Structure formats: C-alpha cells, structure tokens
Structure 1
Amino acid sequence: MVTTKYNPLKILIVLLALVGLVIAPIHGQETISSAKSHNTLTVQLEQDFLNLENQKRTETAKYSSQVEFSEDFTSTTYRDPITNVEGWGTGSIRSPKKSFSLAGTIGSPGSAVGVYVEGNYAYIADEIGGVRIIDISDPTTPTFAAVYDEWNSEGYDVHVTGDNAYIAGGTFYILNVSDPTSPKRIVSVFGTLNQAYDLDVAGNYAYVANGTYGLRVFDISDPTTPFLADSFGPSDSYQGVYVEGNYAYVADGSNGLQVIDISDPTTLTGVDMIDTVDARDVFIAGNYAYVADAASGLRVIDISDPSNPTLAGSYDTPGSAYEVYVEGDYAYVADGSSGLQVIDISDPTTPSFVDSFGTSDSSQGVYVEGNYAYVADGSNGLQVIKISDSVTPNTIDFASTNHRARDVHVAGDYAYVADGESGLNVVDISDPLNSISVGNYDTPNTSWGVHVAGDYAYLADLHSGLQVIDISDPTNPTFAGSYDTPGRATGVYVDGDYAYVADYDRGLRVVDISDPTNPTSAGDYDGSGFAQKVFIAGDYAYVANRLDFQVIDISDPTNLTLAGFYDSTVPYFDNDVYVAGDYAYVAEEQGFTVLDISNPATPTYAGGIDTTGAASGVYIEGDYAYIADGSNGLEVIDISDPTSISPLSLVGNYNTPGSAYDVFIAGDYAYVADGWGGLNVVEIARHRTRQYESLSYAQSLKVYTISDSATITRITLSSSYSTPTDTSVAFAITLNGGTSWNQVNPGDENVFETSGNDLRWKADLSSSDSYSLVTAQINSVTITHEHYPEPTITSNLANNSIHNSNSEIVLTISDSSLLNEIRSNWDNSGDRVLSAPLASTFSEFLPITEEEHTLYIKAEDLVGNFINIRFAFTTDDTDPTIVSHSGLSDNVVISGEHEIIVTATDNVEVDRVEFLIDDVQEHITTSSPYMWQWDTVDVSNGDYTVTIRAVDKAGNEIEKSIDVTVKNIQGPPVIEIFGITIPIDPGTLITIAGLSIPVLGASYFFYIRRFRYKDIYKMYERLYTGDNLQEIKKEIKTKYPKYSYSKIDAILRKGKKIS
C-alpha cells in the first residue's frame, strides 16, 4: 500500500484552496472561479454584439478624417527602447548579425584528421595516435573518455555503427565500443597496404578508400572475420568515399569524382567520372554530390543521373578543402588553415558564403550534430563550434476565438478548441497558413479541456462536468450527451469506452461513454489535492495534481486504486502531464519536470528545468518537449536525454500574443491555445531540418498625433522592406498602447475589434540561420488611419451590478444630435431600433427572469461610424431570508446591554443588515455574523419595537420585529441592609465593619457600574497625553473586557472626557 505524506506547507495550501481555488498562480495563470460569476463581463468596445454586419461608409466622413504617419528611420524619435534591431536612425533597420563561437576544445597527441559523432561521444581519428573517444554530453566541456592506440596505430577516418567502430588508419580495423570508455579491438585487416584513408559502412559491407589501391569492399556480416568481397582500381588516389543507394561516390584526387556501381558488392563496376582539381572528400545529399576539392574549394555535382554526373555549381573557399558535411541548406567545409567555412547551398547551382570560424591549426574533418560542428583540427585536437542557438518556432497564422482558448486537440483538418465561456470552437486548419473558425457550440459553463475521439468531442466544462459534442459535421457541432461530475471538470482524456475526467477537488472520475449520448458514471478515485489534467498510458492514469503527482491503476475502470505518487518537498502545482516511454513529462507553474515512471508505483525525479513563465501544457514529439509556458508563449526543450536536461536544453521559444495554456503538435505545426490570443498556428523546425531562426524586433512609441478625444477605427500599414531567402518580416498594430496586438498584412485595410487612440506598430524580423550574414531589412513604414469623435453611452446603474426587475436603467448619450439611430438588444433576443430624432436619454427595465442579462447598445452616427457597448446586469426579485436571531426575545422586559446576532441568507448575496428602534435606524452591518450591541441605558424605560431588516444586493428586503419593554433602575442606587433601604449617592463607597450585607442584584450592579465608570474616567485622566486615545481604549478594554468599544466611547462621552 502506498501512503501519502504531506508537509505543513501543503496542508496550508489545502486550507486556502477550500475557500476558493488554490492561490493565484505565480506567473499570472488565472484560478478557476467557483461558478459563472455575476461580474465576469466588463464594459468594452466590440465589433458588433448585435449580430449586425459591419456597415461601410458610403459618403464623405463629415465627422471623421484621414491621418498619415511615416517612419523612414532617419531619426530615433519614435523608437521604443525595447527595440533590438540594428540601424534605427541610419535610414533602415535590420536584424543583427551574429558570429560562430567556440563552445569547447580538447587536444589530441598527434594530428586529428577525422571525426564521427554518435550519441554523447565524438570519435577522433588521429593519424599518429589511433582513435580518441571524447565525452561530449556537455559540448562546452568535452572530456577524454578512452583511447585505442595499440602498435602506434594510425587513424584517418572513423565510422560508428551499433556497437562497432570501423577505422581507416593505414590498415582497416574494427573496435567494439559498446562501452565507449573501454574500446576493444575485434580484428585488424592488413590487406590495405597502409593506405586506408576513408571509409563508409552500408549494410553488411565496409567501403574503404584505399589510396592508390582504389576502392576495397569488405564483408563485415561477421565483424570478427571480415574478408575482402571485391575491389575497384587502381587509380590516382582514392581519398574519400560515400555510399548512397546502389552507388559508391569516390573522391579520387586529380581524377575528380568517380561513380561506382555497388548493386552487387562482390562485383564492382565503374559507371562514370567527372574531373575536378583535387577531390579529397564527398558527401551526398539529394541529387547532388558535394566535393571537398582541396585548393578549388567546394564543387557541387549533379548526380540525378549517376551515369552522367555534371558540374552544377562551385564555391572557392579561401583555404584547402579537406572534408565536407551537409546539413539542411548548408555545407560545412573543413578548409585547412582557413578553419570552418559555411556555405549556403539552398540553391546548389549558386553556392554562397554564409560565415566562417577560424580554428587554431588545420581543419581536416568535420561532423555536424545538433547545434554544434565538431572539427578535427590537426595538432589542436577537437574543436566544438556552436553553429546555432535554437530550434526556433515561427508563427504563421492566428485564428481568433470567441473567448479564452484553454485547450486544443487536432484531428484531421480541424483543431478543436476548448474556448472558455464560449464552449467548443472548431478551426479549419487544412491550410495552416489560413486557418479559420468554422463552427462553435456554446456549452453550459466554461470549457477547460477537450479530447476528440471519432465523431465526438469530449469537453471538461468546469461546473457542468463532461459535455459530449457530435462533430460528425465539424461546421455544425451539436449536443450529444453530458454527465455532471461532482467537482469542477478541468481536463479529460478518452481511452476506449471511457472518458477520464480530472475533476479538480473531487479527484479522477471515470465516465462510461460506450453510448456517447448517455454517459454514465463508472468509477472514481477521490484522492487528496486538486486534479488538473490526466493522461492515460496502458493500465495507468497519470494525474497532474495541484499538490502532488499521482499514478492511478485503471486496469479495472470501475475500481480505481492509487498505484503510486511523487511528492516533492516543495509544491509545484502540476498543470499538465504527457507520458512517453518510461517518462512522465509534467508542466508545472515552477517549470518543467521529468519523472521516471519505469516503475509506476515509485515515480522518481529524472530531470527538469525552470521555464520563464508558468508552464501550463506539454506535448512530446520525438526528441522535443513543447511547453505552453503562460505569458512566455511556446518553449521547445531538447529531451533526447531526459535525465540530462539543463538550461542548454532550452532550444527555442516563440512569445505568443496571449497566454499559452496548451499545445498540440500535428505535422510541422504546433497549435497553441493562447487564451485571449485565440489559436496560434506555429511552424516548428525539426532537429534534422535545422532551420534556426534569429528573431529581432522593432517597436515604436505612440505615433498618434491628433486629439486624444478621437478614436481610431480603420488602419492601413504600408512598408518598403526586403526579405532574402529564409528571412521574414511580420507586422502588428496596437490601438491601446500594447495591451493587445493585431497582426496586419502590409497594404490591407484593417478594421479593429477594439478601438483606441494609443497607436503603435511593431515588426518581427527573422532569418533562418542565427549566424547568417543574410538578414531581413525594413526601409520605411507608413500608417494611414481613420478616426472620429466617439459618442459615449453611460448608465445610471453600475455595470455588473444586481437589481430587481423594477429597476429602471437610464442611458445617457453624448452628441445625440450627431446620431442616426440607436439599437438596443437584451440577450441577443432581437433589436429595438430608436430612430431619429433622438433624445439624449432613454430608459430600459430589467427583464423579469432571475438570471444574468446582457444589454447590447449600438449607436451609429450620420456617416456610418458606430460604437458598440454592452452592460451586464443580474435580475434578482427574491427576498433575502432571516434564518435566525439571538439576544432578544419578543414581549420580554430587559435592562442593561444586549448583543443581537442575526443569521441572514440570500439566493445571490446579502448586502447588509439594519437594526432599527421604533423605525429609527440605529446600526448597519455588512458582514456576517451580523451583530449589534444595544445598551438599553441609552433609552428611557418603556415599550420599544426592535426591527431587524435584511437587504440584498438587488434592494429586496425582509424585516423581523421584536417588541420589548426596557426597565432600568432610575435615580440614585440603593443598598438594602437587614430589610432597610438606604439611598446612596452615586460613587459613594460604604464600609460597614463586621456586618454581612445582603445586596440586591439590580442596585448592586448599578452601583458597581457607576463605580467602574469613575475608575474608567480616572484611567483616562491618568494616561491621556493628547494623541493616544486609541491606546487608552485598548487598555480599558483589557481591564473591563465585557465593555465593547462603542460602550467605552459612550462612557467617556458621558463623563465629558471626549467630544
């Protein structure tokens, strides 16, 4: 049995969570409201809440005008300091250039001439030191792992496949490197006459470039007994070989490139050749052979027809090209004394220089892996060169949603978005460049999670539990069924006939969906904490819990049991989980954590990294984790080794316009549920395509130059800019100083949903290689915008307030003489048109149904400009209830002080409780418990009616009356001794020695009270210094705890000690 342990901090958090939801997330991720709030709507400008089409202006705008702003970048007047592009003030802006950098280095005893990378190790061929094996798990600090140098063996080239390393080093020999720290020789083949310079391995054969002895092919199906299968040659000097398909391409020195048919490795035949100056190495990519041609640099040979190779292009490097490695659109050339040269081969017919990095000795071998180039640099050993910063995603499109996108699931050509209070939003992504919303289903509550299976979308709909939506026609989603869970449904995962619902404070719920139109409860695990999301893998449900990480055994969905848990010493507030292989990848508000779940009963910490934002969602694809990181957008983390995640593992980021809640990967795109930013479609660069982006941005200060009383409505941005291959420029506009941005296309007119008068622009400039000398450039930006004086509409009732149906809403409109018409609409139930001439005010009564209502108002001027405003009110005609009261009873005689305590409730909210004596208000309290301390000595003896009145937020009220008779002792106090009543002046102390004095209760207490009053007066006179009245009251309260502060005030006023 697994026993859950808790630390005191978590217990405190649980207590706080019971009041509402867990404390507000650290990085701005909002908490879940306890219900659909009465004050969730705010007054805001919107495009058209009345479902009216946008009306274009048809005549000259009498009350509007055109304004043009131009930026030519010759001054920095409008430059926002956050800008990081170069050149603002010089006539154009461009993304900054970046150079290669040396990440790490390690020496070699002889001369390093060849390198091969496999996993976390680089294998160095040293021409007089054999094979050196270097640990590159941290490329910035390569460390020596092992060496093989028996008989002073030579090393010219190395190739690693599986557990074996094949070395061309004069002779051809094979090492077992299953343990890279302890290589062992398997066999040596001496039939190469000490001229084995290069090799390639394909299938069961090793192809050795054997210098003047040509090409030799060895059968290595049994690595312990390799034998010569065939040879081809002799020739000038076979220096390099690359096998692709049925052909071996051989760098043959002064004879150029040789093409040899190896379809039968035991019978080699020559196909053709093409002459080059001094071919030393060759690399095949696509239909081209890239030849390191010594002093002639890089030659590109078209081999689309291997029987007829032709020269396609060339680039003369400054040094002597020894070796070449092609990755993506770049050829990396080991160029002897000129170090590493990087050539752009995106167009193989016109190779062009990108950048270079000078090494210390003579670069003779190169291998590219990840963000690094590993260079064999002669006597300087291994040089590790950082060639890129990141695998950076690039946004390509936005699809606005109706509310706040919280979760997304992609199926086929559609993205299904859990869109908060707007329910399910369906986006057509068949063309990711032009994604568009095509369908919507408004669920009863707030959609937090979505999972698609077959023809149904399953929504976690907070207080409405599981909602099942038929999406057989994605453009017309319809209700299929529902199951109302007892908690707050925040996540859902469908597996077979069951939907597993993360039900927040009610744990994990299993719903039988074998009939989607009639979901039923199957089982549950109501454990500790707050279940946020769930992922199913095999017989286990992995639950992201706000307090700990839980593994639930679901082998029997009707009988869930806790299998294991991970309880960190600090609560990290798990938000999401994704399981891949033996690891669970958890998005937490503190960052990203990897747990080893190879034994589900005992999850253990494997690695992690603190992200910049609040990680809310996670999706695993290949060697990368894609993190929806709240306000920090989308982050990409290299998880090729889940146990070695460090800040270096963070390889990419895209800062989305909203707040990233979740992410789903499909094909080459990441679909990000971005809160108010809607659905973001982001192009993601894969590890092998190596499209590295350098993102720079330019942003302006406020460029609006007319009266702040006017409002911008329509904008057209134009620009002169250049975007060379693999670079881009994206523009955006804000009308509210940066609170929200809208992406715009140059030359298009844009009508904005949210108007304003704080106009700014920004541009993102990107290039596909972080170290490229080719950058995007902007020469000018021109913005034409239309504005108009905006009428205002105000209400006598506060927005988001509560009233009864007798309440009249009076709307006041400025400049009504300029208006053509006003339309009002309650809850989208049809427009009521008020035509000209228009009064400056008009009224509406709240609907009589007791619920939240929305009043939409559209005011249109004489030329078609319009403004839309919405007000939210709640109708409440139900009176509050006085449940109970204590401290007074009806028709009783009372004296002295009485504390009245009232319990009152309401269907919406109690506003206040009033206490009245004979219809005169004496006291009001607004917080429960509703209390009043009534001192009857402040009134004359007689009959009184005490009224308790409870009033709710809508003004509905209820009263409770209590009739009492006040009878306090009047005149001087008396003391009765042996039946003799003696009047005593107030304050007089009587001492009768030796007598037992029976004292009547009322007279006694009255006497003592007067005596205490005198004592209180003396305390005041003794302690008062002029500014310490509150401190004196506290001391009096401490000595006489039965007196309330209001009573102490009354005593001091009677003694004329205070005014």
Structure 2
Amino acid sequence: MCIAADVEKTVPGHPEADFGRTLTETGRLGVGPSVDAAVDGDFLYVIGDGNFSIADIRDPVKPAVTATLKGFGNTRQIDVANGIAYVTSREDGMFLIDVKNPAAPSVVSHYDTIELATGISVSGNVAFVSCRNYGVELVDVSDPANPRHLSTVRTGEAQSAVARDGILYVGVWGTRELVICDVKDARRPFIIAKAPLDGFGDGVVVRGKYCYVATGHHAKGMKKNDVSDPAFGNGHGLEIFDITDPSRPVFVSRIKMPRFYALGMDMWDVDIAGNYAFVADTFNGMFIVDISDPQNPRFVAHRQLDYAEKKKQFSYVGGFAVGRDYIYVAGGFTDLHVLAAPETAKQTLREKGTAPVITPVRKETNPRFTCYKPDGQVYAAAVSGDMIFVAAGNAGVHVLNAADGYKKTASFPTKGFAVDVKVSGDLVYTAESKGGLTISKWENGALQPVGQYRDPQYPVKQVVIAVPGKYVLLHVGGVNIHVVDVSDPSKPVLAFKDKQLGLLYGYQIADGLFENRWALCFWHVSGLHWYDITGGAKPVYAGNMALRMNPADGAFFIEGGALVTSKGGYFIVRHGDTKDPDTRYSVPGQPFSGKPVVSGNDLYISDRTLGKVCRLDISDLEKPRMIETIELEGNPGIVLVHKGKLIIPAGYQGLLVMK
C-alpha cells in the first residue's frame, strides 16, 4: 500500500518554496541497494542487500570502494566505534566487524540478539540494540570477539536509540513515544520518562540540551485508516525536545515533511551537524533543516531519490551519513547516493560523555526455580523420556537429564544459532537460524547428523513436527512458511511454501496438526492461515481468518479447535471459521498475551516481549481463572510441563525448572 498526497507523481522533488532547494547528486558508490551508512574518519561504511562495504572518502567527490563482504542477511543499521563496525541484521542478529584495515575487514563475532536487531548505537563498552517489540538490549562489547548479554529495558517497540552520559533516548514506533532510560548501570536499566510524538518514533540524536526525533506514518488522533482522515500519513516530521532534565523532557517544536504513507519501509533517521538537522524520510527523501532557532526550525534543502518504475514508487532513503560537504544517502532500491551540501554538511562527531558502567554478574537467586544457564540464550526445549533437549542459541544444543537434577549430559555445536528444537522418536530436529534445519539421530548419548535443509537466502527460525516421519513445518526468514518432506531424513525436500501479509516475528506456527490434518500459522497483519497437510497428495493452502494479531500471541490445538490468544484473552477457532469472533474469554482486569500451552486444566501463556508467564485454570473454558503471573528478567519461550514440573526456556536467563 502506497499513498501520497499526489498519487500520480513520478518526478522526484518537492516544492522548493516549502522544502528548500534541491540538493545536487554528484555520484553513486556502485555498491547497489543500500539501507544505512556511517562515516568514521576518512572512510564510509555502507550496508544493504546483505552486503557490507568500505569506501575511502578522502576525495569526497570520488569515493573509492576498498572492500566488500557478503552474507550479512537482512541488514538494517550500522555504527562504527574504535575500529569495530556494528551491523544489525533483523532476524540475523548483530555482526561485529573489525575495520582497522579498511582494505581487509573481517567478522570477529556474530551476536544472537533477543529479537529483530534493528537499531544500533555504541557508548563505551556497551552496544544498545533496538529489538523492536522487546525493547532495547544492552550488550557488553568490551571484547568484540565475545559480546555478552547484559540486560534489557522494555521500552515498547524500539526502532532506534542513542546514549549519552548514561541516559538512553529511544524512538518508539507504534505507541509514538520518545522513551528515556537511565542506563548508568548497564545491568539495571530503567525508564525515567516518556514523551508523546506526533508520528511513529524512530531516529534519535542528542546535541547539547536538545533531543531530536524523526517520525513517520500517521499522526496522533487518527480515527479512519484512509486519506479522508487528516492524521493519515501525516506523522512524518522532526520533533525537538529540551532534555536539560532528562527525566522531564519538554517539547520545543516540530516540523512536518510531506504527507505520505507506504507499508514496508518504516524507518526514519536524523543526525545533527552544526546548526543543521539532516533527516531521512524514506520515500519522501532527504531533508536539511535549519535548527539555529530550535523553536522555529525551517527547511533549507531536500532531495527525493529516483522513481523506481518497477516498484511504482520512489526509492526510499534507508539511512545516511554526513561527511565534509557531502551527505552519503543509502537508497534502498538504488545505490549509495552522494549529495553535495557544501554550506551545511560537516562530519558529525560523537559527543564526549560518561559511558555506562558494567557491574559484576548477579547470580540467579529465584528460590522457586532450578536454573540451568548455558553461554547462549535458551529459546526452546523438547522432551524425550527424561532427556531435555535445549536450543541454546550460539551455545548450540544442550542435553539435560531430568532424572539427575537437570544436569547437562552433553552439548553439541550447531551451524547457526539454535533457536528451536523438536524430538520425534530417535530423531532430533534443530532450527539453526542461518544454519538451516538439521536432522540428527540421538543414540548412545550423542547427536549424529543425518540430514540438513537450508534455504539459500533465509534463516530457519522455528520447526514444528506436523506428521512424524513425513512432514515438518518451518518458519523461514521474516515472512515464509515451508512444509518440508522428511520421509528420507538424509534428504529433506521442500513440499510447499507460502507467505502472507505481515511478519513472522517468531513461533507463530501452532505445534502439531488439528484433527491430524490442518496446520495453522498467523501473520500479524493478515491473521490466521490454515494449511491442509494430509488431506491430499500434497500440502495446500486452506483458507484464513482475517484479523490483526499481536506477534507475541499464539495458538495451541485442543479438542475441538485451536485456542488462540488475542486482545488480552483467547478464543477458539476451527478450520472453516472465517469471521473474527466477538467473544474473548478473559480474566476481568487481568489481560494476558503470549504463546499458549495447555496441560490438563492449566493454561500457561508465555510472553517473550514482556517477560511474563501466566498460569490460568481453564477447567471452565469460558471462565478462565488467573492462578499466578511469573515475572522474569529473561524472555520466556513456549513452556513445557514434564512430570508435573513447569519448564521455562527463558532466553539469557537460562532454562528454568520449577522446584
């Protein structure tokens, strides 16, 4: 969906009387589609389309590429500090690249972030990774070869963040907020203030006593989701706040870019050089704003990128970097564009300040749980007898013996981050992110690899056993579901694939099949989608129920249908139902969200986003009763109940077993 004030417009540019002169393009880097850029000293760093490039800009008119690396997945943002480039890559995590030799950069580590790695900013030895719905993850990068999780601050849907003097400023998307956090102790961050924005929040920068926020999409107060509502598409702008007291930000002013709305590339960025703000507004292009009087910002220049005929829209600006007299603009459909801005552009420098302190590790002391804590984050667990198979992120697969106090009996490396695991008979299926799906045989206390399935482009993020010995379902990349025939485990073969409108944030495929036939998956925009796995010669699409879903929610098959968490409660859906039911079974005053698991009369709901596990009594399905809510520092995945004990995969908090 793409709607502009002038839907017929194909010539780039906006009225100069309103948005300033048109910036001149002097060249392109020749690296192809780009999503972000950074300048550090005499070098330009560019990411996009899975690539990372370095260019010498000592002659800014003729930047020269010195090196290119490939294979970085769904790249989004880049920051460069102390000879290390930090690259976020959404579902592919964060890469740390040594760039001390611009002709020979090398990857020093690949870090497993808690969710979609989107924004990145470094202060001292702490990297702040904006992980969308999960908030901002703080990572110890004092040893770039061995980054370590420190903590998470749950800000809401974080897009971008920047820290100065132990204070973190976060552009939050859906709730349209600037969220400010105290991060002086990097292990104990907490929110100190929130300020409303008149658009979806993203890019943030701090200079002097002001914080500048780039916004987009819709303004506050939108009641109708179409152009008849004046707030529709009118959230694009730059907002300025006085942060003399960070705990009490004061709104100063805002300036608006042209009205526009387009799904897909929802990213907006800002940086400051002298008296000018440089703002990237995706399809609207690049803008320069005079902020010498913060109460009265005004446009002085702009540049909209080329019209992409195949896309039927303008190439979007993903990000940019400001250098001496030039702006290096990342064109998402085109290339890295070099724009001349001799009177305004100056290379931006980091403001000096006090970096966060990394205090000693705290030992897990929750008396209710036995905690097993591997080096990686625990995503999922599966049971076979007394053996607990644990998907432990960059630590691979660990095997624990429940009969021996949940002690580790073995561990096995994986080709990528181990993000899900299932067991069927003596076969273990591991989703290994960029490593694909690995099928192994468990015998004599060891995992022996049997077969592997890999997508040439995308990581595998979830595995579900649909028909033991026949079909597994995979979440692949950001939007795809694959049905894979594993009849011959040594040669798994793609049988069917699909994608629908929206994203697969994680664990959105229901476990197993309903009535031994129907698979269920949801995309957050278009709702629930059914697949007939066993009713014919091959799997096929089998209809949907259209509704907006919270990515944190999920579905679990029970007798008579699928229990689907939604809007603070749950409903029951059966194949063939197409209308969102009006009824949600809920607990008055105690809304819940997350991935459901039913065990007897107990319903467990784990919310990785909020760090909560709820337990409800559903002996009367229409009148659930809340028994307890467990709040965790980690990110709880889909729970297990083994011999009456609750087992919680809790991310970097480890595997928790209730005593």
- TM value normalised by structure 2: 0.48
The structure number with the bigger radius of gyration is 1
State TM-score, norm by structure 1: 0.31
> Which structure dedicates a bigger proportion of its chain to helix?
1
